[in-house]
Chains A and B, each alone.
Chain A
Amino acid sequence: MLQLKSLLNCIDNSGAAIVECVMIVGQKRLASIGDRIVVVVQKQRGALAEGMSASTSANKVKRGDIRHAVVVRTRQKVTRRDGSCVRFDDNACVLISKAGDPIGSRINGIVGQELRKKKWSKILSMAPMQA
């Protein structure tokens, strides 16, 4: 249940740590697992202090960048077809390019199985686990 201004964890190694949702792609009001959103990078990974912007060794994105992303975990319950539900403890996403390819090369953390239904097979294959 992600909307404008929602903050998400970014769980790939693109360099973003926390991103903010600014738009949901498609005719949607609320984003769930597998939905594509537009985000602004709010916090960089490895940025120790406020003014340190030189620590962009491996970071492919930096603070203030506008990127597309795919939601992979939500705190809101997601019901499956057989009646079972899944709920995670945080909201998380993976940054992608406009073409749909992941920006990072690795994902650390579990992702929801709904990605399979939404045809995000690249992200699924990168993820260590799925639930």
Chain B
Amino acid sequence: MNATPLSRRPLGCLKTSLRHVRQQKVLFSRSMATAVAAKAQQKPSPDALPDHNFFRLTDQKTKKLRSAFAVYTPPTALRGPPTPTSKNSKPDKVVPNAPIHGRVSGLVVVPSDPMPLLHAAQIKKMDPTGARTALFAKTRNAARVGDVLMVTHRRGGEPFAGVCLSIRRAGIDTAILLRNHLSKIGVEMWYKIYNRNVAGIEIIKRRARRARRARLTYMRQPKHDMGSVADLVHAWKKTRKVLTTRGAAKAGAKAAAAKAAAAAAKGKK
């Protein structure tokens, strides 16, 4: 703390050095020592900082606290294992420089569980209209497992259609598993629904009855396999008259946006 004045103290001259010390004594008794001493009195609780983190230098003659310093750990390390209050869904609290359960801390926000907030913020950023969230919400009109979906890529390429085998709901990481047969080989694709590269997700065909499983992995077995959904996609395109409109094909990048909007409309329907 006072390394620089100590180093600059003239060693050869006794009178000047004594004067120096006298000046410093006044300084220390005013500012540093008192402040730290006050803090040291504040922490009598057993959960407080371990004592070895607090280093004090007492004066040999007067037995007064000459100088002191403490080694602080960051608040995250201080908090350690989750406290019982964090498990309950209590509102977040701002603790202004007060001890949390006997621990000294700075001005820190202690959220009960930060992850839902983070997910919500990211979803709002990636899906401002809320269309994608609505498309896979647990509502009657939303896409469900067993429906045939088509994912359009923003990077061009053929759109991938397939029967939805499962929906992995995990906040911003929510993903869907589509299965199709391409050139007689089964192909499965996972797509993140909030991915920016996914321009649009459309429902080609709804399952007649609600699937009674959450994950239709049995549809990989030859007995239950749906095979290719190319004919379904073709029929759907005919009804939508996607093939007859010429403007949409020329629009290029705008077409992708339009498809996203269509998907949004479908999700909201």
B-binding residues in A (CB < 8 A): 73, 77, 82-90, 92, 108-110, 128-129, 131
Contacts and interface: CB of A to CB of B under 8 A. Distances in A.
B189 A85 contact: yes
Nearest to B192: A83
B182 interface: yes
Contacts of A92: 185
A131 B197 CA distance: 15
Interface of B, secondary structure class, is: strand
Contact of A82 (B183, B187, B192, B220): B192
A14 to B, nearest CB: 18
B160 interface: yes
A89 B188 CA distance: 8
Interface of B: 158, 160, 173, 175, 182-192, 195, 197, 220
Given A86-B189, A110-B187, 20 more contacts: A82-B197, A83-B173, A83-B175, A83-B190, A83-B192, A85-B188, A86-B187, A86-B188, A86-B190, A87-B187, A88-B187, A89-B185, A89-B186, A89-B220, A92-B185, A108-B183, A109-B184, A128-B183, A129-B158, A131-B189
B185 to A, nearest CB: 5
A88 B183 contact: no
B195 A109 contact: no
B54 to A, nearest CB: 48
25 contacts: A82-B192, A83-B190, A83-B192, A84-B189, A84-B192, A85-B190, A86-B187, A86-B189, A87-B187, A88-B185, A88-B186, A88-B188, A89-B186, A89-B187, A109-B184, A110-B182, A110-B183, A110-B185, A110-B187, A128-B183, A129-B158, A129-B182, A129-B183, A131-B182, A131-B187
A128 B158 CA distance: 13
B183 to A, nearest CB: 5
A88 B184 CA distance: 11
Nearest to A11: B185
A131 B190 CA distance: 12
Contacts of B184: 109
